[in-house]
Every structure is written in structure tokens, then in C-alpha cells.
């Protein structure tokens, strides 16, 4: 397969963002359930775990991932129900769901897969819409869950991204070795979302750092790097980085987690466009390896 064909087969992240927002516009999203449990366990892997923190941040919940959910279940006896979040409903989620069912805890599965393996062990399943996307992107999957729990306007967000955000992205945004995102304190949970995208798209080839305004004040810029671009996302940064290494992007007036994540992904997607195609050149080999790890058939394109 030639590099040109790879580019045609695997969309860049910014394109997936626009497609995801259009899907959300055209879909009837499941209604967020009313949770009566006093101390629910909210569990998922990677950005699924972060999605759980966003959706249930106002609850007195126990947040866990694939590494620590058993210890949470063992040590916190007040847990009286569980939400399992998994786009695929496979990989670690069937093991998690099986353990929760064994403990006779009521549970709900949030997934984007009608045929999720974890569905077998769940009391109730909410299936959210998804697009066909490259493996790991999970753009439409988690955005559809987040938008289901918010009153944000996907249509106005598309307009905002294609107009004001796109106009500020220069042809030199890919010229840096490192990127320092500064986000508003109230969107702290978006931090891990962006860091995960840098890991998936660039590995150790490009450094991505993300901090809230208050976090950035604590020695994050002690060692300067002339090849680091400081990106204010909903923050008018006039402090961090040299003036020539700063660019600030406004957020829509009525914005929640869906908007800031979509905008951050959109910007990262344009960085991806201007960098060597690390993701596209390695995704097929990687999915062969990870299929063996999980004992499940994982394709480079998730349908």
C-alpha cells in the first residue's frame, strides 16, 4: 500500500471531528439515565475512563480504570452500582462487566457497539452512534456520549471550527517539536483526552503537554524550548512562552466538554496533517499486534 493510499484510507483527526459533529446532528442520542445509586463505580479504559469523569463529575462516584477497578470494588464497600464505558464493548470491558456481575451489582454499559461482548454481563446497555473511524481515534464514539449529557449545539460548533479556528491555524503550526496546551481550569478533565491523542498519533516523536491555567503556573515552563508552541485553548495566554511562540484560540460562547474536546482534537488534527504520517504508517502493524494481545480481532478501521 502506497503512502498516498494510506492518506486516502485513514482520515486525519480534524476530519473525524467534523464528521462526528455531523453524526451527532443527524442522530437521536440515548438519554442519559437517572442514577439513584448513592456511590456508583464509573469505570472504563483510557479515554472511556475520562468520559466517565466528564459525564458523572457531579456525582459522589468512584472513578476507576482497568488497572484498579478490582481494588476499588474490594476496598470501597459503599459502591452500590456501576457504569461501564467502552466504545467497543470488548478488550477489557467484558472482564470488568463479568466481575461486577459476579458481585451482584446493578450496572449499565455505555457502548457504541450493538454486538458488544460486555453486553452479555450487563443489566442494561445504552448504544450510542458512531462513525467508521481509524482505530484509537474514538472521536464520534465518546463525543456522542458527551454531547448526550450536554446541551451544546453541534451545528454552531462546526461553523466555529471551520471559520474562526481554521483561519488561525497557519501552515507553520507543524514546525514545532513540542506543543503546550493551556486550558481553562473548569475543563481539567479534557487534559487526559488531549494527552492520549498525542500518544496515539505521535508516540514519542512529538511532545504534547496540557495544563490548566493554575497548573501551568507551577514550574511547567522552567526549562524553555524555542521549538515549543504555546496554544491557549479558551485562554488568552499572554504569559507562557515567548510572544512569537504563542497562539490563542477562542471557544464558542456556550461551550461544555464536547466543544473544548472537539476544538482541541481539531487543532491536533491540523498538527497531524503537517507532520510525517507516523500513525498511518504504523496502524496496520500495530493492530495485528494488539489483536494477539487481547485475543480479539481488531481492525485498523473500526466499523
Q: Is the pLDDT of residue 150 over 60?
A: yes
Domain match, 117 and 192 both: no
Instruction: Grade residue 301 by pLDDT with cuts at 50, 70 and 90.
Output: very high
Four-point Cα dihedral 256, 259, 263, 268, nearest 10: 80
Domain match, 172 and 262 both: yes
Phi-psi category of 18—alpha, beta or left, where left has phi over 0 and alpha has psi -120 to 50? alpha
Q: What total of structural domains would you count in the chain? A: 2
Q: How far apart are the first and last CA of the chain?
A: 20
pTM (2 decimals)? Answer: 0.94
Count CA within 13 A, CB hemisphere, residue 229. 19
For the segment 187-198, the average pLDDT, to the nearest whole number, is: 96
Instruction: Grade residue 296 by pLDDT with cuts at 50, 70 and 90.
Output: confident
For the segment 180-187, the average pLDDT, to the nearest whole number, is: 98
Instruction: Grade residue 7 by pLDDT with cuts at 50, 70 and 90.
Output: very low
DSSP state of 205: S
Distance, CA of 89 to CA of 6 (rounded, Å): 27
For the segment 20-31, the average pLDDT, to the nearest whole number, is: 97
Distance, CA of 254 to CA of 12 (rounded, Å): 26
Under 8 Å between Cβ of 259 and 266: no
Domain match, 260 and 208 both: yes
Under 8 Å between Cβ of 100 and 62: no
**Structural domain includes residue 12:** no
Q: Is the pLDDT of residue 3 over 90?
A: no
Instruction: Grade residue 179 by pLDDT with cuts at 50, 70 and 90.
Output: very high
Domain match, 101 and 164 both: no
Under 8 Å between Cβ of 80 and 42: no
**Structural domain includes residue 181:** yes
pLDDT tens sequence across 38-89? 999 999 999 999 999 999 999 999 999 999 999 999 999 999 999 999 999 9
Residue 199's domain spans which residues?
154-279
Sign of the C-alpha dihedral computed for residues 276, 231, 190 and 205 taken in this order: positive
Neighbours of 291 (CB within 10 A): 13
**Structural domain includes residue 284:** no
CATH number, position 160: 3.40.50.10490
List helix spans (H) across the chain: 3-9, 13-26, 47-55, 69-75, 93-102, 139-148, 154-160, 166-168, 190-202, 213-216, 257-274, 278-294
**Structural domain includes residue 13:** no
Distance, CA of 3 to CA of 21 (rounded, Å): 28
pLDDT more than 90, % of the chain: 94
Amino acid at each position: 500500500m502506497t503512502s498516498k493510499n494510506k492518506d486516502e484510507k485513514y482520515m486525519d483527526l480534524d476530519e473525524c471531528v467534523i464528521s462526528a459533529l455531523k453524526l451527532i446532528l443527524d442522530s437521536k442520542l440515548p438519554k442519559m439515565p437517572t442514577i439513584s445509586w448513592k456511590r456508583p463505580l464509573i469505570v472504563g479504559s483510557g479515554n472511556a475512563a475520562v468520559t466517565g469523569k466528564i459525564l458523572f463529575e457531579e456525582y459522589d462516584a468512584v472513578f476507576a480504570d482497568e488497572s484498579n477497578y478490582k481494588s476499588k470494588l474490594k476496598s470501597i464497600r459503599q459502591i452500590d452500582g456501576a457504569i461501564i464505558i467502552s466504545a467497543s464493548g470488548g478488550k477489557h470491558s467484558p472482564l470488568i462487566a463479568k466481575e461486577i456481575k459476579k458481585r451482584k451489582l446493578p450496572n449499565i454499559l455505555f457502548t457504541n457497539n450493538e454486538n458488544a461482548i460486555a453486553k452479555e454481563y450487563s443489566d442494561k446497555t445504552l448504544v450510542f452512534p458512531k462513525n467508521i473511524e481509524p482505530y484509537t481515534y474514538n472521536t464520534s464514539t465518546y463525543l456522542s456520549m458527551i454531547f448526550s449529557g450536554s446541551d451544546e449545539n453541534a451545528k454552531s460548533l462546526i461553523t466555529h471550527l471551520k471559520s474562526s479556528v481554521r483561519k488561525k491555524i497557519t501552515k507553520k503550526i507543524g514546525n514545532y517539536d513540542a506543543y503546550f496546551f493551556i486550558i481553562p481550569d473548569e475543563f481539567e478533565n479534557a487534559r487526559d483526552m488531549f494527552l492520549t491523542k498525542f500518544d496515539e498519533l505521535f508516540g514519542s516523536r512529538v511532545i504534547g503537554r496540557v495544563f490548566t491555567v493554575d497548573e501551568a503556573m507551577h514550574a511547567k515552563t522552567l526549562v524553555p524550548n524555542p521549538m515549543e508552541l504555546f496554544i491557549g485553548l479558551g485562554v488568552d495566554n499572554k504569559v507562557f512562552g515567548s510572544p512569537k511562540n504563542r497562539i490563542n484560540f477562542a471557544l464558542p460562547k456556550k461551550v461544555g466538554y464536547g466543544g473544548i474536546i472537539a476544538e482541541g482534537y481539531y487543532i491536533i488534527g491540523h498538527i497531524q496533517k503537517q507532520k510525517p504520517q507516523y500513525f498511518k504508517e504504523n496502524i496496520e502493524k500495530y493492530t495485528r499486534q494488539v489483536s494477539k494481545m487481547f485475543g480479539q480481532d481488531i481492525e485498523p478501521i473500526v466499523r
